[in-house]
Each structure stands twice: as C-alpha cells, then as structure tokens.
Amino acid sequence: MSEAALAKEAAALDATDGLAAKRAEFDLDDGVVYLDGNSLGALPRGVAGRLCEVVGHEWGRLRIRSWEESGWWTAPERIGDRIGGLIGAAPGQVVVGDSTSVNVFKAVVAAIRLADTASRDEVLVDAATFPTDGYIARSAARMTGCRIRAVAAADMAREAGPRTAVALVNHVDYRTGRLHDLPGITAAVRAAGARTVWDVCHSAGALPVHLDADGADFAVGCTYKYLNGGPGAPAFLYVRRALQDRFDSPLPGWNSHADPFAMDPAYAPAGGAVRGRVGTPEILSLLALDAALGVWDGVDLAAVRAKSLALTDFFLRCAAAYVPEGRVASVTPEAHAERGSQISLRYGPGAGEVMAELVRRGVVGDHRRPDVLRFGFTPLYTRFADAERAARVLGEVIGAMEEGR
C-alpha cells in the first residue's frame, strides 16, 4: 500500500476514534511521536496545577494539618481504590506506596508464609521476567529457605506442583509484549495448592485486567507507565480480600500498625490492604498520581483495548509497507489474545543506532539490548497518524543506514 493511502487511512481512523478527545488532556508536542509510554507515560495537564496547590497550600500553609484536613493519611488506600477500578479489584484491596521492587518482596515473602506445608519450598519465576523481579525473588527465597526455579511463563501452569509455594509471573513480557494467560495460569497454580504474584506493570492501564474475577492472590505494578503517574511514582500492591487477615508482610512498618500513633513497641497489624503499607507515604508523588488518574474518568477499558489492538495492527501493516523487506521481524505475537500494547521489532546489532536516529527525527521509542526496537502504544493519546509516521520514519532510517554501509 502506498504512503498516501496509509496516511489517508490513518486520518480516517483518527476521525472516528472514540478516544481521540483524550489526547487534549496530555501535555504533548505534535512535532514528536511519543511511543515510549510503556516506560514513562506522558504528563496529564491537570498534574502541574494540582502539585502547585499541594506545595503552596497544603504543605505551605496547612503544613502538618494536611495529614487529616487534606486527606494525606488515607491517600494510599484512596488512590489504591482508584487504581483498583482499572485492574478489576473491588475497593479495599489495593494500596499505593513504595516501589515495584519493594512490593514484589512483600508479596513473594507473604505468599511463601501462606504455604500450607513446610515442603512447599519452591518459588517459580517467569524465566523472561523483568530483572528486578528475579533479583527480589531470589533474595526472598534465600531468606525463607526456598529454592528458585525459572520456567517459561507459558509452562507455569503445568510446572506448578506439590513443592510450589508461589509463582511470580509477568502479565505482559516487557521485552516482547507477549500477554500471558492470567486466568489460566492462576487457576492451575491454585489447583496445585500454591499462590500467584502477578506483575501487571505493562498491563495496568493498557488493557482490561480482572484480578478479582480471575482469582489472583497478589499483584504488583508501577504507575509511571500507562497510568501516567510521573517519574518515580509510587507502585501499588493488590492483596486478595480472602487473604488479607493472613497477609504477613515482611516489612511491618508503623504505617501498617493497627494503631500507628500508639507507638506501641509490639507490632499489631491493621486490617485490610493497610497491611501493605510500611513507612510515611510519598505525599507529593502520591498526589501527582492522584491527579494523573483523572484522565481515566469515564474511560471504558474495553475501548482502550480495542484501540490498542487496532493501533498495533496498523503499525505492523505500515512497517511492512515502509521498511525494506526482511530487515525487521516482530517478536510480539500476532494473535490479539497474546499481545500487550507494544510492538517489539528485532533488527540486529545496529538497533541502538536506529533508535537513536529515530529519536533525533522525532519518533521516540526505546531500544532493548542487543537487538530489539520497542514501541509502546498508549491509546489515550497515541494517534493512528503517529503509528503511520513512526513506521515511515523507521523505514527511512533503516534504508539510509544500510545504504551508507
């Protein structure tokens, strides 16, 4: 298909996009195609003004009174419930705070402590997991006398057995964009008598997630990708309601005490998701995240998913038309049921140079060593015209680089 025909198709798709108006709620430069929201989401326009109010009035004028008068103290649970609505969790099961790594540690250790017998001494880890998940899981296993076994996420269901205490799985593979079977794996691991910890960093805000309905035990996720919470925004922890009374956090901080201001030297855990808290909440970043979540008001996640799949399909078609034949290969599954909201293309040893030149020309994706070009599609603000332009510039860059060799 010709460039003119693809550009015309992109314009027609954008004209009928039910989410198109959401783009105006973000601070974006029309001269740049931003396809790295799977690393850092764009800035929602409402955040800056809200932070000015927090700093100038709540901190600057009310000061210590804001813990009660401005609702600072309950922000981790209140904002957790907002995120819960985006990941299929009923209120009271999500708490926001700390980093993804810290929350992985809490969840994995707590899951091990829930094991019904001492013989459950095995931690299954997604073999292609984001590195920090593996690091944390190995440390948690050493501390609890367990052993780590790395298995492919696709094999997790059949690998769980009588020695398995917990399976730590990525919902979407960060490198390839492969979407794993959360309900199927969860059911199989539970049938084996073990618990699941799901990393939903690359699915929260990108596609519908149904933690309650699918029976997940624990889940963790960051908020600076598709949820647009900003750099270093606090992560979240989901604890299924049925497990909360037995959730034994390895980090029992004063914020998770049943009566934190009693300053009791003996620890007594609070009820509910509050047990997932540790220390003083990160108020500035928490409230920036709270403001950022406003872009999700009234958004249907089914529409987000439909647009994500349409965008990634269209990008692949454009790449096939523009990129010299045989120069790139998609490592992201073609099947919709197995695809997150990104496209990863394998190029070769020069992938880093290609991405650097794309960024210089105003198309921002990222490079995963050694040979993957990664493009994230954020349906709330990515246009079909962006997908067409990105593929066209990619073809130009690869063509020019190979001509020059």
SS3 (DSSP) at 231 = coil
From the centroid of its chain, how far is CA 401? 34
Our answer to whether residue 226 is catalytic in this structure is no
One of 26, 34, 105, 130 is an active-site residue; which one?
130
Supply the DSSP string of 142-190, one letter for each residue: HHHT-EEEEE-GGGHHHH--TTEEEEEEESB-TTT-BBP-HHHHHHHHH
- Residue 185 CA to residue 180 CA, distance in Å, equals 8
Secondary structure element (H or E) that encloses residue 195, with its range: strand 195-199
Positive or negative, the CA dihedral 344, 350, 353, 354 is: negative
One of 174, 224, 226, 377 is an active-site residue; which one?
224
One of 240, 277, 307, 374 is an active-site residue; which one?
374
Rg over alpha carbons for the chain, rounded to the nearest Å, is 22
Our answer to whether residue 238 is catalytic in this structure is no
From the centroid of its chain, how far is CA 77? 19
One of 36, 173, 181, 199 is an active-site residue; which one?
199
Tokens of 388: 């067409």
Query: Torsion-angle region of residue 298: left (phi > 0), alpha (psi -120 to 50) or beta?
Result: left
- Residue 59 CA to residue 168 CA, distance in Å, equals 39
Q: Would you say 120 and 264 are in contact if contact means Cβ atoms under 8 Å apart?
A: no
Tokens of 389: 């332009």
One of 120, 225, 327, 339 is an active-site residue; which one?
225
Residue type at position 24: A
- Residue 141 CA to residue 275 CA, distance in Å, equals 21
Per DSSP, 89 falls in state: -
Our answer to whether residue 261 is catalytic in this structure is no
The CB-based long-range contact list for 297-300 (8 Å cut-off, 24+ gap) reads 299/19, 299/22, 299/380
- Which are the catalytic amino acids? 130, 199, 224-225, 374
